[in-house]
Structures are given as structure tokens and as C-alpha cells.
Amino acid sequence: MQALQTLSIQKPETVAQAIALHRAGESRYLAGGTDLVPNLRRNIQKAQTLIDVSGLAELRGIHAGEQSLRIGAGVTLESLCEDATVRARAPLLAKAASLVAGPTHRICATVGGNLMQDTRCYFYNQSDWWRTTNEYCMKCEGDTCRVAPKSERCYACYSGDLAPALLALGAEADIAGPTGARREPIAALFADDGMRHLKLAPGDLLISIDVPLEAGWTADYEKLRIRGAIDFPLAGIAVALKRDGDRIAGLRVACTGLNSYPGLVSGLDALIGQKPDEAFHAALDKAVRKEIQPMASTLVAAGYRRRVAAGLARRLVERLYAAAA
């Protein structure tokens, strides 16, 4: 049996101290730990130092302005679900957060942790002895993708629930790092690569999320999972819609659980100004299927997940269109 990793834990008092403590390849930021700690125990991810940022004031709190909502990266998912301002002004976020894992996970899990979580695969997310017996995969100590053996890249899947909701709402991320502070669209955080799905540089730390509060939009999120709790999404769709009379005036559709990154469905500008009739939904179906690349899982076939994603998008558009009447 492989020896357990020896870890030291640092508790900085400020963001600047946390960044100064970070060492590329040796350190990892820790908040709720619901994703990182199991991966460390399985020897999937490695670290010599954990930098506990859960107590940093800069990462806490939910603040509402006239035009936006600022949510600290250290806010727990339970707090996000129950916050009256979020439920009133950005109910999509409360809905998405309420569907993450189970109640005990949401007590600890954070907004930043859910966004930054590792990609997943049924060959990768296994115990060390299992992976030793079945040979390692490209993402961890091996050289072959076990899901797509002929591929030169990793197809491990991103499965966060908050990311598609934030993408649909047009949110931005505030990041601090060794080179200073910056703000980026949520989409800029992710890359289409199961091994390196985050574009953050070593030492970068997510501080907060800024969610614009746009009038006239309505939004919702649904996901497919086998059980009603705990499970990651096999397909997740968030939709934000704006209606003008009997036509669609604005439409954003975002996916999770279907690619190595959470992404907005492209090509929807052509649907603006149309009525949601059968031709509209046929074009929406085509756009969603073009955007995603689900792989086989231990539970369902890839083709089923593709059909479900398109079906969820249609159902959400129909529901939101009716609600906006």
C-alpha cells in the first residue's frame, strides 16, 4: 500500500498572505474540501501544503448593489440557497446550489469550490489500489485515456452545477494572484481539456463572483441524475430567457456534465426575434447537440445524455417563455 501523503496546513489571515504561501506544484487552496480532500485520500491529487482560506473575510459575504450581486467565493452553498436576497434577485443561483450533492455537503462546500472542482471520469475517480490494478489513466500517472483510448487528450467531465447558472446570467469572476487582481467572464476560467480544465495561473485565488441583475430576464436550471440527491449531473442545462411580446428577445443556454468544461451554447443569436415554434426548437436542439460531447459513463450511454440535454433545453425554454408572458 502506498504511504499516505504528509501535509502541512497554513491558515493565512489575508488574501495577500494566502497568495504568498502558495508554491506551484506543492500547495493547494482549501475551503470546504468536499472535492479536494477525497481526491487527496485517493492519491488522485497531491499536495505538500494546504492553505486554508475558509476564514478569509475577503472571500465571505453576499452584497447586493443596484445593478449587481457580489458573492464571495467562500460563501457556502447552504448560505447561497437560503439567502433572501439571492432567492429574490437571482433565484437561478439558489436553485442550482440547492441541487448540489446533499444537505451535509452544502453546509461545507463553497461557491469557489464548486466552480473550481476537478473534472471527473469513472476511470480517474477511483481508489489508488483500483487504479493500480486497472492501469492508470492519462489524467493521473498514465498515458492513455481509458474512455477514448485512441485520443491524444483527456475527456474527463466537468460536473459543477453553479457554473452553467453563472454563465447564463453573464457573471464575472474576481481573481487575485501573484501578478495582481483582475476580473474575467466566467467562461474565461475554463478550457476544453479534462486534464487542465482551469485557466488559472499558479497561485491565483478566486475571490468573488459578480452577477449582473438584468431586468426582464427569467432563468432556470435542471439536471439529469440517477438519484434525487448526492449524484453529479449526467447532463445539466441552465437557460436565461427574455421575452418581448410573443417573440424571444434574449436567450442564453449553458451546459454542464457534458464536456470537459461548462460552456454557453453558441449560435443562438439567430434565434433572437423568433417565436418558439417547432422550427425554433429544431434549431435549438441542433445547437445544443453541436456544443456537447458526452462520453459513456457507468450508468447511461453517451447518446442518451445527448438527447436528454436537448430535451432539457427545450423544456426550460418552453417553461420560461410561458412564465414571462
Task: Give the list of residues 6+ apart from residue 306 with CB closer than 8 angstroms, or none.
Answer: 258, 289, 292, 294
Average pLDDT over residues 158-179: 98
Strands (E), the chain: 8-10, 27-30, 49-52, 62-64, 68-72, 172-177, 180-185, 205-212, 217-224, 235-244, 247-256, 263-264
CA distances from 102 to 32, 38, 319 (A): 14, 16, 26
Residue-wise pLDDT tens digits, 235-250? 999 999 999 999 999 9
Least trusted range by pLDDT, from 174-178, 261-265, 292-296: 292-296
- Classify 250 as helix, strand or coil: strand
Residues 250, 242 contacting (CB under 8 angstroms): yes
Instruction: Walk me through the domains of the chain, giving residue ranges and CATH numbers.
Output: 1-55 (3.30.43.10), 62-116+157-323 (3.30.390.50)
Q: Is the pLDDT of residue 296 over 60?
A: yes
Query: What pLDDT is recorded for position 24?
Result: 83
Do the Cβ atoms of 163 and 172 come closer than 8 Å? no
Q: What is the pLDDT of residue 21?
A: 96
pLDDT of residue 322: 98
68 DSSP β-pair partners: 212
Segment 211-235, tens digit of pLDDT: 999 999 999 999 999 998 999 999 9
- Work out the percent of the chain whose per-residue pLDDT is above 70: 98
pLDDT at 5: 57
pLDDT above 90 covers a percentage of the chain that reads: 82
Mean pLDDT of 181-199: 97
Average pLDDT over residues 131-155: 86
Kindly state the average pLDDT of the residues 165-190. 98
Question: Left (φ > 0), alpha (ψ -120 to 50) or beta: where does 61 sit?
Answer: left
User: Residue 299: pLDDT band by 50, 70, 90 thresholds?
Assistant: confident
Contact 73, 32 (CB under 8 A): no
Confidence band, pLDDT 50/70/90 cuts, at residue 141: confident
The string of pLDDT tens digits covering residues 18-37 is 999 999 889 999 999 999 99
How high is the mean pLDDT of the chain?
94
Model pTM?
0.95
Q: Which pLDDT score is estimated for 4?
A: 52
Q: Given pLDDT bands bounded at 50, 70 and 90, which one contains residue 2?
A: very low
Higher pLDDT, 229 or 182: 182
Q: Is the dihedral of CA 300, 124, 26, 201 positive or negative?
A: negative
Give 142's pLDDT tier (boundaries 50, 70, 90).
confident
pLDDT band at residue 1, thresholds of 50, 70 and 90? very low
The span from the CA of 246 to the CA of 273, in Å, is 9
Span 62-106, pLDDT tens digits: 999 999 999 999 999 999 999 999 999 999 999 999 999 999 999
Bridge partners (DSSP) listed for residue 218 = 241
The residues, any chain, with a CB within 8 Å of residue 15's CB and separated by 6 or more, are: 53, 56, 58, 59, 176, 205, 207
Q: Which pLDDT score, from 0 to 100, does residue 238 have?
A: 98
